[in-house]
């Protein structure tokens, strides 16, 4: 019997973040009135952040199986098979609300959490990526966010010693008060060392390992990450977790040593909802019970209550279930790494999660009630597309009628220097990109490429998003994000294997938010099916809104690809003088959702994507690369064809002379600066051009010859001619100048 069971105060369920309907469901499951701690445990585990109440029914529709899938959704991270017994483990997660409250620690602990998700699987992390979304970089508030977030990511990843190899950054007004911080980690593990959280057995000892437990981040999952910012005042902003990357490094090494010794039968990261989440999920997945004593938990603060211990989200902690007879190994490993390795309980066969304190039972609940039985809401029942005239997620279209246009060359320089297009080097130079000595291609390439010591093959990774497109049509925006991520893998010569997604949206309880969520998931699903890749892990972050105004629907896609020979990747080069420059794919572009259009106050549809053409384009580029025909490849994305050509020229500082593809009805500025999916610029030896056309024709991919590499100008005849040095200055220093920094 639970000590302290009482008639609850009427506001206890509300304070835990539960609706009246959910409170009645809790009472029905428990068959009694929960006590305050139990209400808090339900509130944390049934929060949107943990339970995915509004998204889980939709997420089940995503394809998650494939010949290379080793672990799909439901574990700490997903995994794909690289061959010869080696698996690639990866996942992306959000830390949006904590980063909005405290940018440095919010971002840092986001990195720490995603690292733990990967090494909890027994995998050694080998790369970090991030996708960041801020407001206007000329504003002081945005600059504070950028400085804090980038500093937190850099300091944490650098101290742990994991290279940051790729990323995405957007600057749009909708993120001004609600920045997004999505962190991705990639790791490697031998199949026989893969660990799960669903294999705990009755009688096994349960250990809390790593750091001690404090009052930071208490109830963060239920109060901070599952409501809109500004909702309910400061009482809904609990303290953000505080990270210690040096402890994380020790915890990672100790955990991997434990895996190597085969001394653990289950491992679970302590993230959102802390001990409540880890104990209930391990027990529920293992179809067992668990009994823990909170008095045994090492603490960094005096007088902590069972509520605080069970709900604390202190960082750098893991739950480890020891194999029978291997308890001493667990204790010895963590002692040697100078970390806590304290036995806090036992796996039981009674099917209950029992929490004791000072010899008394303070909570007793079935773990599946917490981990599996949260209500699910079908948002399609109230989803409704926003009225374009009434202001949906996208900003209203503004046109500057009759505004004088500058010379096209000056427009290109301004576009290259604008925050949407300019080099992100001023940000990513904060990150260590080469630690570990396995980075072949780092930030600035279409995708990161990693070697694997002792093997010939390699891994390519990237992370992408298309928020301006998604603001107009969430389906097309999400599908375009998947397509862009896979296209970037293809542009370094990698065959896409699988994706992980982080879906960042606004309030799903409003009709427009529900519609955006449904259409975003549908877009990811359609693209994955058409392009032949599964979703093996991911995260959903909802309630990204400030004072009732949602962010744009933002599907962040992390992708992993495989290179049979890492030394034969498509290099980051401009090509050789005399090489042919070609455009493969679609020439159908528009200014409506483009970076160029944004500078004119334009943001409008229609937007579209031809997924069948996108699939053919990927096959064509990979076939051409396999035949040894491709010298360089670059995705046409932000800024359109003109920016893609400029970025190619900037790789080696070599110019080119080209003409625009002849497409009827397309204005020259649209052809230069218009954006659209399914476009790749290729550089090839002229002697290979005919062979390339044969492959393109076989795959049904349009191919235009634009011109040739050479000179010191980017010359688009007869439209513009700009010195490469001027392109380099604008692109290389534009963002730093906007942020008020030295480049």
Distance of alpha carbon 713 from alpha carbon 711, whole angstroms: 6
Distance of alpha carbon 573 from alpha carbon 587, whole angstroms: 23
Please, what is the angle between helix 20-30 and helix 36-45, to 10°? Answer: 120
95 is catalytic: yes
How is residue 237 annotated by DSSP? Answer: -
Tokens of 461: 């990774």
Distance of alpha carbon 48 from alpha carbon 92, whole angstroms: 17
Say how many C-beta atoms besides its own lie within 10 A of residue 431's C-beta: 23
- From the number of C-beta atoms within 10 Å of its C-beta (0-12, 13-18, 19+), residue 625 rates as buried
Q: In this structure, is the dihedral angle defined by the CA atoms of residues 681, 685, 689 and 694, taken in order, positive or negative?
A: negative
The SS3 assignment for 445 reads strand
Q: Taking a C-beta distance cutoff of 8 angstroms, is the pair 512, 550 a contact? A: yes
Distance of alpha carbon 44 from alpha carbon 32, whole angstroms: 19
Q: Taking a C-beta distance cutoff of 8 angstroms, is the pair 195, 264 a contact? A: yes
Q: Tokens 């995998």 label which residue?
A: 123
Looking only at the bridges linking them, the beta strands covering 720-723 and 632-635 are: unpaired
625 is catalytic: no
Distance of alpha carbon 58 from alpha carbon 253, whole angstroms: 37
191: Cβ contacts below 8 Å, ≥ 6 apart = 70, 81, 85, 86, 87
Distance of alpha carbon 190 from alpha carbon 682, whole angstroms: 36
Distance of alpha carbon 274 from alpha carbon 284, whole angstroms: 16
Residue of 49, 236, 562, 569 marked catalytic: 49
Q: Any bridge partners for residue 129, and if so which?
A: 166, 184
Tokens of 277: 């989440």
Distance of alpha carbon 432 from alpha carbon 156, whole angstroms: 10
Q: Taking a C-beta distance cutoff of 8 angstroms, is the pair 130, 182 a contact? A: yes
Secondary structure string (H, E, C) spanning 598-620: HHCCCCCCCCCCCHHHHHHHHHH
Q: Please provide the DSSP assignment of 292-304 as one string.
A: EEGGGS-BSSTT-
Residue of 54, 95, 236, 618 marked catalytic: 95
Distance of alpha carbon 505 from alpha carbon 528, whole angstroms: 20
Which residues are known to be catalytic?
Answer: 49, 95
């Amino acid at each position: 019997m639970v000590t302290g069971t009482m008639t609850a105060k009427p506001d206890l369920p509300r304070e835990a973040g539960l609706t009246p309907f959910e409170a009645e469901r809790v009472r029905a499951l428990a068959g009694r009135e929960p006590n305050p701690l139990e209400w808090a445990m339900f509130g944390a585990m049934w929060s949107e952040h943990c339970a995915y109440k509004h998204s889980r029914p939709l997420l089940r529709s995503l394809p998650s199986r494939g010949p290379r899938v080793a672990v799909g959704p439901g574990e700490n991270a997903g995994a794909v098979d690289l061959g010869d017994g080696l698996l690639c483990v990866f996942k992306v997660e959000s830390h949006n609300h904590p980063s909005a409250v405290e940018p440095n620690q919010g971002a840092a602990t986001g990195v720490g959490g995603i690292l733990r998700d990967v090494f909890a699987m027994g995998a050694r992390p080998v790369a970090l990526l991030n996708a960041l979304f801020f407001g206007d970089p000329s504003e002081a508030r945005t600059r504070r966010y950028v400085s804090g977030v980038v500093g937190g990511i850099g300091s944490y990843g650098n101290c742990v010693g994991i290279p940051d190899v790729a990323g995405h950054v957007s600057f749009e007004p909708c993120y001004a008060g609600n920045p997004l911080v999505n962190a991705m980690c990639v790791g490697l593990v031998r199949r026989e060392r893969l660990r799960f959280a669903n294999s705990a057995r009755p009688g096994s000892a349960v250990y809390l390992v790593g750091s001690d437990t404090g009052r930071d981040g208490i109830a963060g999952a239920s109060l901070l990450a599952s409501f809109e910012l500004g909702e309910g005042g400061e009482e809904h902003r609990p303290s953000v977790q505080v990270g210690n990357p040096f402890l994380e490094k020790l915890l990672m090494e100790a955990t991997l040593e434990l895996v190597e010794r085969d001394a653990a039968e289950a491992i679970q990261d302590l993230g959102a909802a802390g001990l409540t989440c880890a104990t209930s999920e391990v027990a529920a997945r293992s179809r067992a019970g668990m009994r823990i004593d909170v008095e045994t938990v090492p603490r960094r603060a005096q007088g902590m209550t069972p509520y605080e211990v069970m709900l604390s989200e202190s960082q750098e902690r893991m739950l480890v279930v020891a194999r029978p007879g291997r308890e001493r190994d667990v204790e010895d490993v963590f002692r040697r790494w100078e970390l806590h390795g304290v036995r806090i309980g036992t796996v039981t066969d009674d099917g209950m999660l029992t929490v004791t304190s000072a010899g008394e039972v303070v909570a007793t609940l079935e773990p599946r009630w917490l981990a599996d039985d949260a209500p699910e809401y079908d948002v399609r029942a109230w989803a409704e597309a926003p009225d374009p005239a009434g202001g949906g997620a996208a900003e209203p279209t503004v046109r500057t009628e009759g505004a004088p246009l500058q010379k096209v060359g000056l427009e290109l320089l301004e576009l290259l220097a604008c925050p949407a297009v300019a080099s992100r080097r001023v940000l990513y130079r904060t990150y260590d990109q080469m630690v570990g000595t396995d980075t072949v291609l780092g930030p600035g390439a279409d995708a990161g490429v990693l070697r694997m010591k002792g093997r010939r093959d390699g891994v390519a990774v990237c992370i992408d998003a298309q928020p301006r497109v998604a603001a107009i049509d969430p389906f097309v925006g999400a599908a375009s994000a998947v397509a862009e991520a896979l296209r970037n893998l293809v542009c370094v010569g990698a065959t896409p294997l699988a994706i992980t997604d982080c879906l960042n949206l606004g309030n799903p309880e409003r009709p427009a938010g529900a519609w955006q969520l449904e259409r975003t998931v549908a877009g990811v699903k359609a693209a994955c099916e058409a392009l032949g890749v599964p979703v093996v892990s991911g995260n959903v972050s909802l309630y990204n809104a400030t004072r009732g105004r949602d962010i744009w629907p933002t599907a962040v896609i992390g992708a992993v690809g495989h290179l049979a020979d890492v030394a034969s990747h498509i290099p980051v080069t401009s090509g050789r003088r005399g090489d042919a420059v070609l455009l493969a794919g679609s020439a159908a572009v528009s200014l409506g959702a483009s970076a160029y259009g944004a500078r004119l106050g334009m943001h409008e549809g229609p937007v579209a994507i031809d997924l069948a053409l996108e699939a053919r384009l990927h096959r064509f580029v990979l076939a051409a690369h396999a035949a040894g025909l491709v010298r360089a490849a670059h995705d046409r994305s932000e800024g359109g064809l003109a920016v893609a050509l400029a970025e190619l020229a900037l790789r080696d500082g070599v110019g080119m002379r080209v003409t625009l593809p002849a497409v009827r009805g397309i204005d020259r500025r649209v052809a230069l600066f218009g954006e659209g999916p399914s476009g790749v610029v290729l550089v090839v030896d002229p002697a290979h051009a005919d062979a390339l056309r044969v492959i393109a024709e076989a795959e049904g991919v349009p191919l235009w010859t634009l011109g040739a590499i050479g000179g010191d100008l980017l010359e688009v005849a007869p439209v513009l001619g700009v010195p490469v040095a001027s392109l380099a200055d604008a692109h290389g220093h534009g963002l730093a100048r906007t942020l008020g920094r030295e480049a």
